[in-house]
Chains A and B, each alone.
Chain A
């Protein structure tokens, strides 16, 4: 089983749409969870950390379900500039700092 699993997409959505991405992780001892965004041939950029209580940043909402080992990202009112690959990222056990990346979900927002 892959450590961090994501649907590769692509998700093609019109501007203004709401889109949701899901991710599952295999290590139940994982401590921290993130969504990063990666544009073509660029570096991963931190979009948001994901907390057990769920968190929201503007049009973006992230949720974590530790029991199901499942993370989600919801994007409301999609903009053309949201087109990118969204990476689900997990940090392992306490004492380990390495991030484990999913393969990413590609989003294409169309006019």
Chain B
């Protein structure tokens, strides 16, 4: 069964550093998403991406965040200057654009020290 994959599984970085989280969505899917979950809190939407551009973003997705599809398979989330409060689990998801169901990757745990 096709699945979303993410790398790395855990990333530790120092405050102020840039990080790039990587995702490979399901191959025939057209919509890609990033969500985050701070420990003990609910899953929150960050951004959706379709046809090589952002289609929707939340208030959390400010100027320190960016997304990119650098090639035909990868989808990345860049955090430019990490803050302590960026520590969270970041989930990538994808959907086929026909149905509304979204399928999530295993997540990257980001720890900012």
Contacts and interface: CB of A to CB of B under 8 A. Distances in A.
Contact of B106 (A42, A49, A96, A100): A42
Nearest to B100: A32
Q: Which of A32, A46, A96, A99 has the largest number of chain B CB atoms within 10 A? A: A99
B79 to A, nearest CB: 19
Given A43-B91, A43-B107, A44-B91, A99 B42 contact: no
Contacts of A72: none
B31 A46 contact: no
A38 to B, nearest CB: 8
A91 B107 CA distance: 21
A97 B104 contact: no
A45 B101 CA distance: 10
B49 to A, nearest CB: 10
Interface stretch (A14-22, A56-64, A73-81, A101-109): A101-109
Interface of B: 31, 33, 35, 41-45, 48, 55-56, 58, 89, 91, 95, 100-107, 109
Interface of A: 31-32, 34, 41-46, 49, 87, 91, 96-104
3 A-B pairs with the lowest CB-CB distances in the bound complex, closest first: A98-B45, A32-B100, A43-B104
Given A49-B100, A100-B45, A103-B41, 8 more contacts: A42-B107, A43-B105, A45-B104, A91-B100, A97-B55, A97-B95, A98-B58, A99-B102
